[in-house]
Amino acid sequence: MKTSVYQTAHSLLLSLGFLCLARPSVAQNPIICDRYTPDPAPYVHGDTLYLFVDHDEDVTENNYFTMKDWLLYSTVDMVNWTYRGTPISSATFSKWAKQGNDCWAAQCIERNGRWFWYTTATIAGQAYPGIGVAYANNPAGPYRGYTKPLVQGWFYIDPTVFIDDDGQAYLFWGNNGLWYAKLSSNMLTLSGSVNKVNTDSEAAFGPYKGYDDNGKPKTNFEEASWVYKIGDTYYLEYAAGGVPEHMAYSTATNINGPWTYQGKIMGQAEGSFTIHGGSVRFKGHEYMFYHNGKLPGGGGYKRSTCVEEFVRKADGSIPYIPFTQKGVDPIATLDPYVSQEAETINQSSGIKCMGDYKGCWVSNIHATDYIKVRNVDFGSIGADGFTAVVASEGRANMLIKLDSRTGRTIGTLRIESTGGAEEWTELAGTLVQNVKGVHDIYFTFSGTTSAATLFNFDSWQFHEIGSDIKVVRPATRQASIYYTVGGLKLTESEANNQRGIIIADGKKVLLK
> Residues 366 to 425: which contact ligand FUB by CB under 6 A?
none
Q: How many CB atoms lie within 10 A of CB 321?
A: 21
| Closer CB to ligand FUB, 224 or 252, in the complex | 224
String marking each residue 433-462 x if it binds ligand FUB according to CB under 6 A: ------------------------------
| Closer CB to ligand FUB, 38 or 241, in the complex | 38
| Closer CB to ligand FUB, 145 or 293, in the complex | 293
Of 80, 82, 120, 498, the one binding ligand FUB (CB under 6 A) is: 120
**DSSP E strand boundaries for 78-168:** 81-83, 88-89, 104-111, 114-122, 129-136, 144-145, 151-152, 160-163
| Closer CB to ligand FUB, 250 or 340, in the complex | 250
CB 50, min distance to ligand FUB, A: 19
| Closer CB to ligand FUB, 157 or 197, in the complex | 157
- How remote is the C-alpha of 290 from its chain's centroid? 12
Q: Binding of ligand FUB at residue 119 (CB under 6 A)? A: no
Distance, CA of 501 to CA of 512 (rounded, Å): 9
Distance, CA of 350 to CA of 297 (rounded, Å): 12
3-state SS track over 41-91:
EEEEECCEEEEEEEEECCCCCCCCCCEEEEEEEEECCCCCEEECCCCEEHH
**DSSP E strand boundaries for 403-455:** 409-415, 425-428, 430-431, 438-446
Evaluated on CA atoms 267, 270, 273, 274, the torsion sign reads negative
Strand order in the sheet with 304-310: 278-282, 285-292, 304-310
CB 123, min distance to ligand FUB, A: 15
| Closer CB to ligand FUB, 35 or 276, in the complex | 276
Whole-angstrom CA distances from 372 to 37, 83, 155, 356, 387 are: 19, 14, 40, 22, 17
* Count of residues that bind ligand FUB according to CB under 6 A: 13
**3-class DSSP state of 480:** coil
CB 272, min distance to ligand FUB, A: 8
Q: Binding of ligand FUB at residue 157 (CB under 6 A)? A: yes
Q: Binding of ligand FUB at residue 278 (CB under 6 A)? A: no
Contacts of 493 (CB under 8 A, 6+ apart): none
**3-class DSSP state of 99:** coil
Of 274, 305, 346, 461, the one binding ligand FUB (CB under 6 A) is: 274
Distance, CA of 54 to CA of 272 (rounded, Å): 15
CB 231, min distance to ligand FUB, A: 28
Q: Binding of ligand FUB at residue 158 (CB under 6 A)? A: yes
Residue 486's region, left for phi above 0, alpha for psi from -120 to 50, else beta, is left
Q: Binding of ligand FUB at residue 54 (CB under 6 A)? A: yes
CB 88, min distance to ligand FUB, A: 15
Quote the radius of gyration of the chain (alpha carbons, Å).
Answer: 25
Of 13, 17, 32, 38, the one binding ligand FUB (CB under 6 A) is: 38
CB 279, min distance to ligand FUB, A: 16
| Closer CB to ligand FUB, 158 or 341, in the complex | 158
Of 13, 17, 39, 294, the one binding ligand FUB (CB under 6 A) is: 39
Q: Binding of ligand FUB at residue 224 (CB under 6 A)? A: yes
| Closer CB to ligand FUB, 37 or 387, in the complex | 37
Distance, CA of 509 to CA of 487 (rounded, Å): 12
Q: Binding of ligand FUB at residue 292 (CB under 6 A)? A: no
| Closer CB to ligand FUB, 32 or 389, in the complex | 32
| Closer CB to ligand FUB, 65 or 457, in the complex | 65
Of 36, 83, 104, 289, the one binding ligand FUB (CB under 6 A) is: 104
CB 277 within 8 A of CB 304: no
Q: Binding of ligand FUB at residue 171 (CB under 6 A)? A: no
> Residues 59 to 98: which contact ligand FUB by CB under 6 A?
65
- How remote is the C-alpha of 312 from its chain's centroid? 24
| Closer CB to ligand FUB, 131 or 376, in the complex | 131
Judged by the rule CB under 6 A, the positions of this chain that interact with ligand FUB are 38-39, 54, 65, 104-105, 120, 157-158, 223-224, 274, 276
